[in-house]
Amino acid sequence: MKQKLTIQDIAKFAGVSKATVSRVLNHKPTVDPEIRDRVMQIVNERGFVPSITATVLRGGRTQLLGVLAPPLTHPYVPEIMLGVAEVTDRSSYEVVLYTMSPARRHSDVLDRILAMKLSTGLLAIMPGQLGSHLDYLYKQGVPIVTIEDQVAPMNTPWIGIDNRSSAYEATHFLISLGHRRIGHILGPAEYLCTRERYEGYCTALREAGLEPDPTLLWQGDFTTESGWACAHKIFSLPPEERPTAIFAANDQMAFGVIDVAAEYDVHVPDDLAVMGFDDMPVAKFARPALTTIRQPHREIGQAACELLLSMIDPKHYTFTRDYRTFSETEEGGSKKIRVLLPTKLIVRESCGAAQSVSR
């Protein structure tokens, strides 16, 4: 078996001290560029891999960012991770991914990971009920940023969108097309974004002099199957009681409505306008193509990673994006960071609008 190289071996080959090799491997700026190149050439030629555990035991800091995420099959995680990767590619940090599954006690797993000090900070993507534990860890000094729309933000720095104003824009657009009976398919009742999108829908209706009608509400769960179920209920109503437009709280439920409409000889958009939310990659390929609200998932990943790096290493990384903060303050008077990135209305064929914008 080939013997594993040590820092001492690399120092010997390069003709420098162990301390110099350590500074090179830890990206210290005080090393002469010529010496750095010589050491790195030997590191690359010999296939040397520094020991993370040894670095931690020496009191050093790893160059790893932990990302806690749902399984990669989740429709938005790949785009978010792409944004994260674009930022880390320009930094000296790498990413280690931890996936969440219902069968594991994630608070225990997180505690073990942090106790081993293998990650310098943590980016949590839609941690849901794990948020309270993350909030506790953040108060203990662990750098953490959350990307979340399921539960209300606590103290942990938070990245997301303004669901209320986005849903308001979607509903207002349908009203501007002349619709007055606008139905809404809600997401899971326990989700924060579900409540906020419903509030934005109601605000737009009331502003137009239309009182929200409880008979035009249907409960979904963000799956296409729930969109099918709601659509069967909608199209089983007498024609005069049906809505003329549907605002679904996400694209998957909107796809379900469009899919079922053909079974009832309902033509989208001639008989029913359909609006989604998210702008999933397949939305523009639906037939008809789906009008929706575009969430900037890639930019959200970028912003979250930039914010986390600025917390971990403020000397070398700064967070320059515009962001809003709540007026409340934490202990010590520091403000809670809430980064709200803008969404965009994407108009396609499913709403029957005459105009067309970028698809």
Per-residue burial over 176-189, b if 16 or more Cβ lie within 10 Å, else e, is ebebeebbbbbbee
Confidence category of residue 327, pLDDT binned at 50, 70, 90: very low
Q: Return the structure tokens found at 236.
A: 């089983």
Domain locations in the chain? 7-50, 64-156+297-341, 163-295+344-351
Please tell me the distance from the alpha carbon of residue 248 to that of residue 222, in angstroms, as a whole number: 9
Could you please state the CATH topology (level 3) that the domain comprising 64-156+297-341 is classified under.
Rossmann fold (3.40.50)
What average pLDDT does this structure show over 252-271?
Answer: 96
Strands 121-125 and 158-161, sheet pairing = unpaired
Among 70-74, 176-180, 224-228, the minimum mean pLDDT is found in: 70-74
DSSP string, 71-96: -TTSTTHHHHHHHHHHHHTTSS-EEE
Class of domain 163-295+344-351: alpha beta
What average pLDDT does this structure show over 298-305?
Answer: 95
pTM for this structure? 0.79
Specify the 3-state DSSP secondary structure of 298.
Answer: helix
Greater confidence (359 vs 204) lies with 204
Q: Please, which residues bridge with residue 72 across strands?
A: none
Among 153-157, 174-178, 342-346, the minimum mean pLDDT is found in: 153-157
Q: Return the structure tokens found at 285.
A: 């390929």
Please tell me the distance from the alpha carbon of residue 55 to that of residue 168, in angstroms, as a whole number: 51
Greater confidence (295 vs 110) lies with 295
* C-alpha torsion sign, points 175, 178, 180, 181: negative
The domains spanning 64-156+297-341 and 163-295+344-351 adopt the same CATH topology? yes
- How is residue 264 annotated by DSSP? G
CATH number of 7-50: 1.10.260.40
Helices 224-235 and 251-261 cross at an angle (nearest 10°) of 40
For tokens 């609200």, the residue is 293
How many alpha carbons lie under 13 Å from residue 348 in its C-beta half-sphere? 24
Q: Name the nearest CA neighbour of 151 among 135, 133, 129.
A: 129
